[in-house]
Structure formats: C-alpha cells, structure tokens
Amino acid sequence: MIGLLAQKIGMSQVYDEKGHVVPVTILSAGPCPVVQVKTSETDGYAAVQIGFGKRREKLIPKALQGHMKKHKAAGLRMLREIRVEDPSAYEIGQTLTVALFEVGVKVDVVGVSKGRGFAGVVRRHHFTAGRATHGCTTHKQPGSIGASAYPSRVVKGKRLPGRMGGARVTVRNLDVIGVDPDQNLIWLRGCVPGHPNGTVLIRKNG
C-alpha cells in the first residue's frame, strides 16, 4: 500500500460514540502528485515517487528542477519514494489524496523525532540518578562501564551520553478517527513524531 505525505498541524481532542475523550493529532495530508513510477524492468525495483507541498522555483536545486520538469511536476517542496509491489496501479500525473484512508483503519506514521541535542544517561536512557544529598558526587553520572583488563575498551552499544532525538521513528497501529477530503485533513488517535509543521509519511498498516 502506497502512503501519503502529510504535514503535522497540531493536537486536539474529540469525543467518541461513548462520550470518551480521544486525543488526536491533526495532519494536512496531500494532495500528493505521482512524479515517477519505477519498475523492476527499467530501474531494478518497483517504487512510486510522490511529491508534496509547494516551493519557489529559485529555491529548488537545478538538478531537481530538471527532474521535476521532465515529469511535469515543477515547484514541489519535497519528493519521497515509496516501494510498492505493483507499480502498474499508478501513473505519472495521478494525484493521491486523503480519500485513500477511511475511519477505523489502522495506519503507520513515519517521521523524524524532535532533536534534543547532547543528553546524559538519565535523560537519554532513563538511568536512576544518584542521591540528592550532601556528600554524593555522582548525581547524574553513568557509573562504572564494566571494561577492565579485558577487553580494555568500551564495548560497542553501551548506553552512554550522546546525541538524543532527531532520528527516524515509526509509530505503528494508530487509529484513523476522522477524514476530511474537502480540506485534506486526517485525524489520528494519539501522537506522531516530529515538530508541528513537520512532514511525516502515513501508510496503511500491513
């Protein structure tokens, strides 16, 4: 199943049929024109390239401008390629909209999480901090890392301070609460990764 690019607007809440409050994330999804269709015969794999958003032509690199003009899709803000099993169902110039999704289906959302910068082990890996009392000198230090005479180095994969966030994240099995084809809006139960106004990929689960 091909996905749809969307821009995260923000969060809100709605009421379900039983009167329960449901937290939702509102996204502006599509429309996404099909820019290129790749097949196993011509490119070695099957994929569909879709575009999203608008951008002034002077801000688009020349090579990308040529690619877009070749496929009659000038002025797009971004392009994303999605692997598909059967590319014959798509053609260049076709427009994908939020009508691909129905209320009640489950979707996966792929995005980039918020960057937190350099973080210590307490924030990054939820280590327990030391005692907040007089005399304690290891309030937020990681402690022993276990390497001694052998192997005389820090073992790869050790949970230590470092860069936190700003990574690709996939949130699975989110329920579609509402769809508005007229305004290209979709409501998903729960939260999705990234900043407001960030771009994510929505695709049906399975």
Query: Half-sphere exposure of 148 toward its Cβ, with a 13 Å CA cutoff?
Result: 2
Q: How far apart are CA 27 and CA 6, in angstroms?
A: 6
Q: Is residue 140 part of a domain?
A: no
Check whether residue 89 and residue 18 sit in a common domain. Answer: no
Question: What pLDDT score was predicted for residue 73?
Answer: 82
Check whether residue 120 and residue 82 sit in a common domain. Answer: no
Q: State the total domains in the chain.
A: 2
Is residue 181 within 8 Å of 8, Cβ to Cβ?
no
Check whether residue 107 and residue 187 sit in a common domain. Answer: yes
Check whether residue 63 and residue 164 sit in a common domain. Answer: no
Check whether residue 166 and residue 73 sit in a common domain. Answer: no
Check whether residue 54 and residue 83 sit in a common domain. Answer: yes
Domain that holds residue 177: 1-30+98-129+160-206
Contacts of 144 (CB under 8 A, 6+ apart): none
Check whether residue 175 and residue 90 sit in a common domain. Answer: no
> Which tokens go with 64?
């990308």
> Does residue 122 have a pLDDT over 80?
yes
Phi/psi region, residue 10 (left: phi>0; alpha: psi -120 to 50; beta: rest), is left
> Does residue 2 have a pLDDT over 80?
no
Is residue 77 within 8 Å of 55, Cβ to Cβ?
yes
- Give the model's confidence band at 1: pLDDT under 50 very low, under 70 low, under 90 confident, else very high: low
What confidence tens digit (pLDDT) does each residue in 71-117 have? 888 888 888 998 888 888 888 888 888 988 988 899 999 999 999 99
What confidence tens digit (pLDDT) does each residue in 12-41 have? 999 988 889 999 999 998 789 898 898 888
Last residue of a domain, one of 96, 112, 143: 96
Instruction: Give the CATH number, domain containing residue 79.
Output: 3.30.160.810
What confidence tens digit (pLDDT) does each residue in 158-203 have? 999 999 999 999 999 999 999 999 999 999 999 999 988 889 999 8
Say which amino acid occupies 19: G
Q: Is residue 142 part of a domain?
A: no
DSSP for 24-68 reads EEEEEE--EEEEEEE-HHHHSS-EEEEEEEE--GGGS-HHHHHHH
Q: How far apart are CA 134 and CA 123, in angstroms?
A: 22
> Does residue 147 have a pLDDT over 80?
no
Question: What pLDDT score was predicted for residue 120?
Answer: 94
- Give the model's confidence band at 125: pLDDT under 50 very low, under 70 low, under 90 confident, else very high: very high
What confidence tens digit (pLDDT) does each residue in 128-146 have? 998 989 988 888 988 888 7
Is residue 196 within 8 Å of 16, Cβ to Cβ?
no
Question: What pLDDT score was predicted for residue 206?
Answer: 63
Q: How far apart are CA 150 and CA 160, in angstroms?
A: 19
